[in-house]
Amino acid sequence: MTLTTVSEIYAFEGIQGVYKHASDVTNCEMEFSVYVPSSAALEMAPVVWYLSGLTCTQDNATTKAGFQRTASELGLVIICPDTSPRGETVPDDPEGAYDLGLGAGFYLDATEEPWSSHYQMYSYITQELPALVAEHFPVDLGRQAIMGHSMGGHGALTLWRKNPELYKSVSAFSPICHPIDAPWGQKALNNYLGTDVGEWSNHDACALLLNHGPIEGVQILVDQGMGDQFIEEQLKPDQLELACGMVGQDLLLRRQMDYDHSYYFIATFIEDHLRHHAQALANL
């Protein structure tokens, strides 16, 4: 598969790149970023997928989360995909709202019109993009972790629980833990998947854990700012804690006083998350 380099810039002795390619899955051109630490010149590196939240592209986390320093130290490749398909042919929310359509793919494969022809972010991130990345970068896909923020935290938790053989470690910042029971989630699931709530439960971290049980040997790391305006209505970390408790899933949920939903919160604690993943991937 062909890859076009948008930019490659030195950062912390590694290379922070941005690339684009024609996707057969989302049926449009997709952009993503890859940080390759210098250590990957010697040995294929483990990979951390970073999934971003509503309204973001790959650019937000790449420029503001500050992951390059610790990724360089730990020898991790960090990949930031976009949050939705893009382009003139891609449908958007008819009212231009930020929580559906462009920037709001919710990391699932849409089955409903007009979304289904492009909004296939689940297959894109779990299948097409890893294959492309493996062709072009020094990555060891036997050692993958996944993390994300807000909608991307939902993506990380659900993609991990549906594919524990792919992702050996998982973490999230301020994830949408129970989208079935939150306005953002309900709007997206209803539009992308239709009205069958049974199908929704395949894209809800709490429901997946309750229906399919825990993954042994994996500790979920979640940081949640307690000054986050979305915590009560949209994110619901208490529900994740409850679901993990019920099924015996190991969860480290850290409630961080005063922090909000922003990239400053992510930047503050991302070192902890990358160390969490590096340790899990080192044991493979």
* 261 flagged as catalytic: yes
Smallest distance from the beta carbon of 185 to a second copy, in angstroms?
25
Q: Does residue 174 touch a second copy according to CB under 8 A?
A: no
- Of 98 and 264, which has the nearer Cβ to a second copy? 264
Site for a second copy in 5-34 (CB under 8 A): 9-13, 16
Q: Does residue 255 touch a second copy according to CB under 8 A?
A: no
Smallest distance from the beta carbon of 138 to a second copy, in angstroms?
18
- Of 46 and 225, which has the nearer Cβ to a second copy? 225
Catalytic residue among 39, 228, 273, 276: 228
Half-sphere CA count of 220, side-chain side, radius 13 A: 34
- Of 8 and 43, which has the nearer Cβ to a second copy? 8
- Number of amino acids touching a second copy (CB under 8 A): 22
Smallest distance from the beta carbon of 72 to a second copy, in angstroms?
9
Catalytic residue among 178, 261, 273, 277: 261
Interaction mask 121-160, a second copy, x per CB under 8 A: ----------------------------------------
Helix 151-162 to helix 205-212 angle (10° resolution) is 20
* 201 flagged as catalytic: no
DSSP one-letter string for 145-212: EEEEETHHHHHHHHHHHH-TTTEEEEEEES----GGGSHHHHHHHHHHH-S-HHHHGGG-HHHHHHHH
Catalytic residue among 23, 52, 150, 174: 150
The one-letter code for the residue type at 41 is A
Q: Give the C-alpha distances (Å, rounded to integers) separating 115 from 8, 67, 75, 81, 183.
A: 33, 32, 38, 19, 19
What phi and psi values does residue 218 have, to the nearest 5 degrees? -115, 130
d(CA 191, CA 115): 8
| Tokens of residue 43, six digits | 């040995």
* 154 flagged as catalytic: no
Neighbours of 149 (CB within 10 A): 30
Stretch of residues binding a second copy (CB under 8 A), selected from 47-55, 124-132, 133-141, 256-264: 256-264
Site for a second copy in 51-80 (CB under 8 A): 63-64, 66, 68-69
Q: What is the CA radius of gyration of the chain?
A: 17
Q: Give the residue, chosen from 55, 123, 186, 262, that forms a contact with a second copy under the rule CB under 8 A.
A: 262
Smallest distance from the beta carbon of 91 to a second copy, in angstroms?
31
What phi and psi values does residue 87 have, to the nearest 5 degrees? 125, 170
CB 94 within 8 A of CB 113: no
Q: In which element (H, E) is residue 144 found?
A: strand 139-149
Q: Does residue 268 touch a second copy according to CB under 8 A?
A: yes
State the residues that interact with a second copy by CB under 8 A.
9-13, 16, 63-64, 66, 68-69, 225, 227, 258-260, 262-265, 267-268
Which residues does the annotation mark as catalytic? Answer: 150, 228, 261
